[in-house]
Amino acid sequence: MTRTTTKISPSPLSPPVEGGEIQRAVPLSLRWERVAINIFTIFLVLFLSACSSTKHIPNSTIDELFRDYYAPNAPGAALLVIHDGTVLHNKSYGFAHLEMHRLVTGTTNFRLASVTKQFTAMCILILNERGKLSLDDTLEKFFPEIAQSYRDIKLRYLLNHTSGLPDYENYVPDSQTVQVLDADALRLINYADTVYFPAGSKFSYSNTGYALLALIIEKASGVSFAEFLRQNVFLPLQMNNTVAREAHTVVSDRAYGYTRTDSGWTFADQSSTSAVLGDGGIYSSINDLARWDQSLYTERLLPRSVLETAMSATTPTDTSAYSYGYGWYIGSRHNMKTVFHTGSSRGFRNAIVRIPDERFTVVILTNRNEGNPVEIAYKLIDMYFGR
């Protein structure tokens, strides 16, 4: 575990007195008054520091939550906990690649699955800020060939899962051997030419919408989705090992997915839809995601007002406990607003949970077809903030 303490910069020293000035005597009563003020100030600072200090959770307690992930010869997990810019825990468990006996580390890159959606939404919002598109643009603007049923659907409905678009996965044959791409998602739903409900009328989680958003990013920017992410998000934030994985992409320090069988762990890294980028195709590590998380407190990528809109509870979901923004779920824990997303695909289960008002974040990445990382994340939050 890496645990650091917040570094407080000392106040600058007072400037030296210029030569020639006469030093005036200070009355004794005034000197005692100043001493009293200084003592009070010191105690106030110490009291406030104690009130705001982060609770210490022992290594053994953290490890117990991840017991199954460091079992012998088992796929693993990576954990990041940040509070107010300080890394409280950066821990790794188990194997990234069982066959090669390569351990998980802080730089291991996992397939994020639907945690990708917050990045796709970020790209759309960046292009909106630059005037390259509008959230009220319709699909017909970018896809003149799109089926009649989809032409008037606005981009904002794709962002918040109220588009009513059918799930492209339902039209992928069971016999499919070649992986589906984002463009194939558009082709597949065009055959259907039907919607689940009128756009904007209700919430229904949609990978299709985010696959189309990736294609729209390409059309509006003139570069590939992967390249737009690289130029406008990953490089500015120095997320140097994070990529949207295309066929030719080399993922450094890559974690591979596994599933548990009666005979042990079996390699299970990709499905027929794992090459679709907009809904789940980014690979990243806890070290790079620390940079992503901290950037969301700044205006490095977007104005604060836009970020707040993306993380606002604007859309009720099919679960009363939380709402949806643009690429983020919004909920509550211990009367504190949480902003979170999970990601599940063949071989991977992930979660990021943020408490923006406390500047507290938990990220858990795993390379197995089981487990509930978001549940572990909330257990950690309970340890730190439980009353």
* pLDDT value for 47: 39
N-to-C CA span, the chain: 25
Tell me whether residue 172 is exposed, middle or buried, using C-beta atoms within 10 angstroms of its C-beta: 0 to 12, 13 to 18, 19 or more.
middle
Task: Tell me whether residue 36 is in a domain.
Answer: no
Write out the H or E segment, with its range, that includes residue 257: none
Task: Tell me whether residue 50 is in a domain.
Answer: no
Structure token pair of residue 375: 């549940």
146-175 pLDDT, tens digit per residue, is: 999 999 999 999 999 999 999 999 999 888
Distances (CA, A) of 32 to 28, 85, 279, 284: 6, 39, 67, 58
Alpha-carbon gap, residue 338 to 93, rounded angstroms? 26
Domain membership of residue 139 as a residue range = 62-385
Neighbouring C-beta atoms of residue 363, cutoff 10 Å: 25
Write out the H or E segment, with its range, that includes residue 105: none
Write out the H or E segment, with its range, that includes residue 355: strand 348-355
Per-residue pLDDT of the chain (387 residues; tens, 9 = 90+): 344 433 323 333 333 333 333 344 445 554 555 544 455 444 443 433 444 456 889 989 999 999 999 989 999 999 999 999 999 999 999 999 999 999 999 999 999 999 999 999 999 999 999 999 999 999 999 999 999 999 999 999 999 999 999 999 999 988 888 899 999 999 999 999 999 999 999 999 999 999 999 999 999 999 999 999 999 999 999 999 999 999 899 999 999 999 999 999 999 998 888 889 999 999 999 999 999 999 999 999 999 999 999 999 999 999 999 999 999 999 999 999 999 999 999 999 999 999 999 999 999 999 999 999 999 999 999 999 986
Residue type, 68: D
pTM, two decimals, is 0.86
Strand 323-324 to 264-267 pairing: unpaired
* pLDDT value for 38: 53
Task: Tell me whether residue 232 is in a domain.
Answer: yes
Task: Tell me whether residue 55 is in a domain.
Answer: no
Q: Based on the structure, what is the number of domains in the chain?
A: 1
* pLDDT value for 3: 42
Biggest distance spanned by C-alpha atoms of the chain = 93
Task: Tell me whether residue 160 is in a domain.
Answer: yes
Task: Tell me whether residue 56 is in a domain.
Answer: no
CATH number where 206 lies: 3.40.710.10
Task: Tell me whether residue 126 is in a domain.
Answer: yes
Task: Tell me whether residue 169 is in a domain.
Answer: yes
Backbone angles phi, psi at 86, to 5 degrees: -105, 130
* pLDDT value for 223: 98
